[in-house]
Amino acid sequence: VNLISRAKDEDVTPEEYIQYADLLKQRAQVNPDDGVLREEAEKAAELAQFYQKYEELLLQTGFIDIPGLISLPLRLLRTRPNILAQLQSKFKYILVDEFQDTNYSQFQLVRLLAARHRNITVVGDDDQSIYKFRGAAITNILSFCDVYPDAKQVVLTRNYRSTQPILDTAYRLILHNNPNRLEVRRNIDKHITGVGGDGLPVRHFHYDSLPGEADAVARMIGERMDRGGYNYSDFAVLVRANSHADPFLRALNMKGIPWRFSGNQGLYDREEIKTLLSLLKVIRDPDDSASLYHLASSTVYQINPLDMSRCLGYAHKSKVPLRQVFLSLNELEEVSAEGRATAEKLLADIDYLNQLSMRAPTGKVLYEFLTRTGWLKRLTSESSVRNEIQVKNIAQFFEVVQKVSEFVEHDRVPFTLEYLEMLKESGDNPPVAEADFDLDAVNVLTVHRAKGLEFRVVFLVCLVHDRFPSEKGRKRGREIALPDELIKEPLPAGDFHLEEERRLFYVGMTRAKEE
């Protein structure tokens, strides 16, 4: 599916993919001893057929995917000149914001609409093109003046956010992306002047460990708060990926500093939703040891990690499900009395909910779990940003379960869970709830999420090998990729991934107003 999305971003139709596969087949027939070429031809033919079948299924079922919102109108305008003429007459002026984030197909659509009047304005910054993973083509903005040579250029060089030291440091960084920048391509000056004047220099700190780095960030935030003149919301901790945030969230918790985390996680990736899904899985199959372990280790039950380790070891040694171990804990002296009591409570809850699930809808079972365990009461009685977000996410999950109940044969746990698992496998993952931004809390978020925002003090963290710059983009290249011969976007020379990571860091730096 990612391959198809990429193909549509590049304005490659199934017919073009089939033509490419046929061409490879002809080459392989001319060179029968070339086994690699033969395998490539077979693979291309299979993928082309898959793409064609995928489009046929969409048409038959009346569905449309996200890239199709561009590719279908593009096909319509190319094949129905009367409709194109109507739209060209209707839209005499076209403005495209954030042009550096558009993909090849989107630019082709805009070019068609603007072809009659040629009144097109695009606004963008090539140094802030950070969405290649979503299909964005930086060459759109780099080559715009080649497509429209009579276009008037307006270069904005006054900055109303950051101090000059921040702007100068960010500029020195982004110069390493030359010559694949508009400044070089169009011979313009993009050096930015800040109206705020001078300020503190950009500082770099090195730590021996990640926990040490996280503790230092929390300490520096605490020190500034103690000095006065700051709100918690003035601070931002920017991470390259969601998984990098946990040490910093723990460090902030240890200091008693409130925080809000805005990453790219979906609803099903949230820990509170994983707990609810684990509960449903254990109700469906009490011998599902992995789900039972997750439930027992969750914040709802919090069985001691050492006790859990001993129980898992015994289950593995005896080759029995974890539930059987919990049922015979009196025979395990190594497990603490507290651990045995909590496991007993867990099994009692599961037995009760299992019986309830036979006669009650899934939503009722989940609500009984929240109230019976006291989890809902704890979340609503202890006021914090984290609890607020968890409650919102749980409420959102209940809405999902309610919608699913309309599609399943019976609104019971096994049917609902099977449907939810099917949704997850198909890529469905609703966005998570966000904390209210009027709450005073430190902002922890990915650099991608921070684009367009600003903070008085910014910490860019985890600046180590394989994290920032990341290796993920390079590894993505080992997945099924669109063949270079089908890519219509002119690719600039150089290390695309490293240049994108550099632009991402530039965006992170320029979120800061003072430090």
> Domain coordinates of the chain in residue numbers?
3-64, 71-194, 210-265+437-506, 267-426
Contact 28, 38 (CB under 8 A): yes
The Cα 379–Cα 234 span in angstroms is 26
Q: What is the pLDDT along the chain (515 residues), one digit of tens a residue?
A: 788 989 999 999 999 999 999 998 988 888 888 888 888 889 999 999 999 999 999 999 898 888 999 999 999 999 999 999 999 999 999 999 999 999 999 999 999 999 999 999 999 999 999 988 888 888 999 999 999 999 999 999 999 999 999 999 999 999 999 999 999 989 999 999 999 888 999 999 999 999 999 999 999 999 999 999 999 999 999 999 888 888 898 899 888 898 888 765 678 888 899 999 999 999 999 999 999 999 999 989 988 888 888 888 888 888 999 999 899 888 788 889 998 899 999 999 999 999 999 999 999 999 999 999 999 999 998 777 778 888 989 999 999 999 998 888 889 999 999 999 888 876 677 776 665 556 788 999 999 989 999 999 999 999 998 889 887 655 544 467 888 888 888 777 778 889 999 999 999 999 999 99
Q: Which residue in the block uniquely carries the two structure tokens 């702007």? A: 167
Mean pLDDT over all residues of the chain?
89
The Cα 271–Cα 192 span in angstroms is 42
Residue 215 in tokens: 């503790």
* Architecture of the CATH domain 210-265+437-506: 3-Layer(aba) Sandwich (3.40)
Burial class, 105, CB count within 10 angstroms (exposed 0-12 / middle 13-18 / buried 19+): buried
Per residue in 372-390, pLDDT (tens digit) is 999 999 999 877 777 888 8
71-194 and 210-265+437-506: identical CATH topology: yes
The Cα 131–Cα 129 span in angstroms is 6
Kind and range of the H or E element at 121?
A: strand 120-122
Distances (CA, A) of 491 to 112, 135, 442, 487: 22, 13, 39, 9
CATH class of this structure's domain 71-194: alpha beta
CB within 8 Å of 86: residues ≥ 6 apart: none
CATH code given to domain 267-426: 1.10.486.10
